Chain A
Amino acid sequence: MAKELLKGNNAIAEAAIRAGLEAYFGYPITPQTELLEHMAARMPELGRAFVQAESEVAAINMVYGAACTGKRVMTTSSSPGVSLMMEGLSYIAGTEVPMVLVDVMRGGPGLGNIAPSQGDYTQMVHGGGHGDYHPIVLAPASVQEAIDLTVLAFDLAEKYRTIAVVLADGSIGQMMEPAELPPMAPLRKQLPDWAVTGEPGRERRLLTSIYLNPDDEELTNIRLLERWENIRSEEARWREYYLDDAEFVVVGFGTAGRVALSAVRAARAAGIKAGLLRPISLSPFPETVVRELAAVAEAMLVVEMNAGQMYTDVKLAVDGLIPVEFYGRLGGVVPFPDEILAEIRRVAAGPIVGQNGHTRQRWLERLSILREGN
């Protein structure tokens, strides 16, 4: 397949279709609506299921039903819509059926705006729905990566009978870039042996998330957690840039990571030994590589388009070995490379230890000064 100029949302939708998607259920919300529109046109012409649901609540429960049949199924939404899906996501996790969710994040909280944001990190990575469960969460930084991770998400979801999330943001969804789509995969012929399909000639099957006996529920939780431990050891993914001799490590995912790469290159040009770690899997979080980098680097700088949601996970992985600084923009504002370069310069100028106040507090002060300057 040759490269084409593709819009992120359409590219994700077409990638899912080519990966063998059999049913799509969704609800319009900016900035992911083109995804739904692409499905509305393509799925029926391929004889596959498409329903525009009455709400995100209904969409996720349609997904839940179709996922119980073992078919490849997905929904897509954006932050406030994903909040509405939390009930269904918890049920799906508790029932151990695979599905893919694409969250094209926008500014929040509340109705917020339709600009790119990374404010759903905590909502997706650390659950959101009730109970102990962990979805796999993959964060693309380009249209090509969004395509590749969407295909991967289906494979991982089915391999582990879990929820796999592609956590993009409004700029990935709306941006056009040259990218290559995968070839059309044939639909699977065989359904898994747990699928509720109304197939004659076998014992009846039941899929549920209810275990009234606490002992049974505890066992179910243990099974989920053991599977999660397996995922944690097998499925961590990340990209490294200029890290071989880096003294100052920038950590950023998705669009923030992409902007940070420009800043790291500028820092290198200015003689600062900076590098970038861009987590691809936010869940499982690549904590081992963060820890290894913390053992050799002088300081880290976490850059996000939120108030430091991944920052907390980096801090946990670093475990006090080196200082971890934070820089973020909020509410749909995308940082410029120059802002991040200024932060890298500040961290490289050191020392950070001994400065007054909490990291976030000091960042908020710098952000206020920056905003007054504008």
Chain B
Amino acid sequence: MLNPAPSTAQVVYERPHSLTETVTHYCPGCTHGVSQRLVAEVLDEMGLRERAIGVASVGCSVFAYNYFDVDFVQAAHGRAPAMATGIKRVFPDRPVFTYQGDGDLASIGMAEVMHAAARGENITIIFINNAIYGMTGGQMAPTTLPGMRTTSSPLGRDIEVTGMPIRMCEVLAKMDASSYVVRRSLHDAAHIRKAKKAIRIAFEAQQQGLGFSLVELLSTCPTNWGMTPNQALSFVEDEMLPYFPLGDYKISDGVKGLKV
């Protein structure tokens, strides 16, 4: 007979209740699982799981609704901020968040995210930037770095023809009504902890009615980058960070006053 567990035993780490037990479809080394876990942990800690409404986007994040154990809707490509607006305006007391990739948010959904920020829409956007279209198989995104090879820039992104990558945080911070706009990275444990804190602040800001919050997370796509998981983490640190500097691009006075 096994000894009973010592009475002092306690759970110090477990699956967040805001995640379902579904096995994700993400590739090895992809950081979607990390970012979704962080969001789920924050929802747990704030006691929001049963009241939150998520808006899934189109891309690899299309199945986010399968992994979060909260009410969810599925938006058309790029339209998640508009859909979130519709929900928030009729249920202003519910925490409403979108989870969008860079193709979804920074290309086809540029108008929707800019105007959600311009309205100061009281929603939270989790923005996954991995500099490529993942779901469709690795095409050039508006965030693809100069010279980066993708299936639609096979010789490397030619900035003479395709222009320069878009830095969304820098753009959105210029919108007067945006409240909390920050960029974090998921390439190592220390940065992951900082990313979680930012997500927490974003949801706290929404719960306090402080308006538009967006957390950009620099993420990996080893499969479409043609790298191992470790190489992909190094790529984020060595190549993406210089072009997409981490930082707090917009912290409104209201958010400054938050105690988290």
Contact = CB atoms under 8 A, between A and B. Distances in A.
Are A and B part of the same complex? yes
Nearest to B79: A61
A207 B74 contact: yes
A201 B86 contact: no
B71 A206 contact: yes
A127 interface: no
B111 A61 contact: no
Please indicate which of the listed interface residues B50, B55, B91 has the most CB atoms of chain A within 10 Å of its own CB: B91
A236 B70 CA distance: 40
A65 interface: yes
A271 interface: no
Nearest to A24: B89
Given A196-B71, A204-B69, A65 B86 contact: yes
Interface string A51-71: 101110111011111111101
A87 interface: yes
B86 A54 contact: no
If over half of B's interface residues share one DSSP class (helix, strand or loop), that class is named, otherwise mixed; here it is mixed
Nearest to A210: B74
A61 B74 contact: no
A113 interface: no
A198 B72 contact: no
B137 to A, nearest CB: 16
A88 B79 CA distance: 9
Please indicate which of the listed interface residues B53, B69, B90, B112 has the most CB atoms of chain A within 10 Å of its own CB: B90
B73 A65 contact: yes
B86 A25 contact: yes
B73 A58 contact: no
Contacts of B119: 51
Nearest to B76: A91
A168 B90 CA distance: 28
B82 A53 contact: yes
Contact of A73 (B52, B79, B86): B86
B52 A87 contact: no
Contacts of A63: 86
Nearest to B121: A51
Contacts of A208: 56, 65, 72-74
Interface string B3-31: 00000000000000000000000000000
B74 A209 contact: yes
Contacts of A22: 90
A312 interface: no
Nearest to A195: B71
Nearest to B70: A204
Interface string B105-142: 00000011011001100000000000000000000000
B51 interface: yes
Please indicate which of the listed interface residues A61, A196, A197, A200 has the most CB atoms of chain B within 10 Å of its own CB: A61
A198 B91 contact: yes
B177 interface: no
Contacts of A71: 90
Contact of A61 (B51, B82, B94, B114): B82
Given A57-B111, A198-B51, A23 B79 contact: no
Interface string B68-88: 011111111001001111110
Given A65-B55, A200-B51, A206-B65, A87 B90 contact: no
Contacts of B118: 54
A38 to B, nearest CB: 18
B69 A65 contact: no
B117 to A, nearest CB: 11
Contact of A87 (B56, B70, B76, B114): B76
A196 B82 contact: no
A51 B76 contact: no
Please indicate which of the listed interface residues B69, B83, B115 has the most CB atoms of chain A within 10 Å of its own CB: B83
Contacts of A289: none
Contact of B50 (A51, A55, A61, A198): A198
B254 to A, nearest CB: 22
Q: Identify the 3 closest CB pairs spanning chains A and B, nearest first.
A: A65-B86, A65-B83, A61-B82
Interface of B: 50-53, 55-56, 62, 65, 69-76, 79, 82-87, 89-91, 94-95, 111-112, 114-115, 118-119
Given A23-B86, A65-B83, 7 more contacts: A51-B86, A54-B112, A68-B86, A196-B71, A196-B73, A204-B71, A210-B62
29 contacts: A23-B86, A51-B85, A51-B119, A54-B112, A54-B114, A54-B118, A55-B111, A57-B82, A61-B75, A61-B79, A62-B85, A65-B73, A65-B84, A66-B87, A67-B86, A68-B87, A91-B75, A95-B73, A196-B71, A196-B72, A196-B73, A198-B51, A198-B71, A198-B94, A199-B50, A199-B51, A207-B73, A208-B73, A208-B74
